[in-house]
Amino acid sequence: MTRRVAITGLGLVSSQGQSPQAVFDAWCAGQSGIGLHTVGDEPHAMTVPYALCTDFDAAAVLGRSRLATMDRVSQLSTVASVSAWRDAGLDELPQVQRDLACTLWGTGGGGTQTTERSYRDLFVKGRARISPLTVVLGMSNAAASHIALQLGLGGECLTYSVACASSAVAVGEAFRRIRSGEADIALTGGAEAGLPFGMIKAWDSLQVTAPAGDQVEACCRPFHAERRGLVLGEGAAALVLEDWERATQRGARIYAEVVGYGGSCDHAHLTAPDVQGQLRALRQALHVGQLNASDVQYINAHGTATMEGDPVEVQALKALLGDHAAKVMISSTKSMHGHLLGAAGAIEIMATTLALHRRMVPPTAHLDQIDPACEGLDHVAVQGRESPGLKVALSNSFAFGGSNAVLALRSVDA
């Protein structure tokens, strides 16, 4: 059995707000959510460019009593998921149907804030004991479990931790289950909480993060000739995927259709990207979606603004698209929401979904000088672009460890 898969609900917590539609408007205007923030506590603290959810209030949705049992990553995840569930119009879904709905979630680090706090209590403050909740707060599957607890979802509850492809893999696996008939409804997506001092130092040691520069909001510049590296961010993006026939029968609003999913491993290097590995995932997504390369009109790129990563992705896309490449729009919304690591795929799939739904392509902000090594596609630079005929789009996620994930989406009336 092969079924169509609809996206019927969107939920978001980001540095630019919690309304997917309003945040998408900000992206299309080229507005950045990146600022200068101090992470960690003295004497272990540093000030860095970051996309933090400064106005996030989990207690307003979940109640203050629950927060003691939730790391920040679980709070972000659950609030975004509740919003997506409501957006899909599933508040009144009977429990017998909720018991069959699955929760498939992605996160790269899980409860990193809890883990570092516990280590500091032990090794810096010299405490003999740490919180008895440390394990359940910090475990990687805690966020998915809290989502299922909050919404009463009784199907599979799984966590995917595949570095920067984590939530894209989660969405892809949700697509597979609904397409095959294993599930009718899936709550999927991913989250990453603001990284603690130790992890910020670890990323800094890799020498892939951008300095603040004169304009901190514009320091993440994918595909730019003078790009300096990625900017980290936190947040959560949740999507409700649903059997198309079921969704139409209940009169649900359908944002877009997921038609293809491709995954691959570079098997070339632990951190360096590989053209052929990315190309295998891209081709598989098209194959599953029964699409030709010439059908693709927009690609939400992985586009991290690293010196090595951006040109490799462009090479893979040009190899995929051939003579059609120059006609395809490409942009990286990381220029505005930062790199959300395990949550990156989900927020970018959401951006791609809304591009198809609104017929509006978000830009790569701050792109006023394209690197010659990244030329050959139609870069949507600085400002978004109306695209009345937009029908087919891809969303790319490429991770450390060589894991690649690509989702193919189609507009509702295509």
Positions marked catalytic: 164, 302, 339
Residue with token string 């080229």: 30
Q: Which two tokens stand for residue 390?
A: 């937009």
Residue with token string 């510049």: 221
CA 244 to chain centre: 23
Rounded Cα–Cα distance for residues 116 and 409 (Å) = 38
Cβ atoms of residues 6 and 241 within 8 Å: yes
Q: Which two tokens stand for residue 121?
A: 């209590």
Q: What is the DSSP string of 54-90?
A: TT--THHHH-HHHHTT--HHHHHHHHHHHHHHHHTT-
- DSSP tag of 317: H
Cβ atoms of residues 309 and 210 within 8 Å: no
Cβ atoms of residues 379 and 284 within 8 Å: no
The pair phi, psi for residue 334, each rounded to 5°, is -60, -25
Three-class secondary structure of residue 357 per DSSP: helix
Cα-trace Rg, the chain: 20
Q: What is the DSSP string of 325-347?
A: GGG-EEE-THHHH-B-GGGHHHH
- The tally of CA atoms less than 13 A away on the side-chain side of residue 153 is 29
Rounded Cα–Cα distance for residues 122 and 371 (Å) = 47
The pair phi, psi for residue 117, each rounded to 5°, is -60, -40
Rounded Cα–Cα distance for residues 215 and 32 (Å) = 11
- The tally of CA atoms less than 13 A away on the side-chain side of residue 58 is 24
**Who's near 14: CB < 8 A, 6+ residues apart?**
23, 33, 51, 53, 233, 235, 237, 337, 347
Range 100-131 burial, b when 16+ CB lie within 10 A, else e: ebbbbbbbbbbbbbbbbbbebbeeeeeeeebe
Three-class secondary structure of residue 368 per DSSP: coil
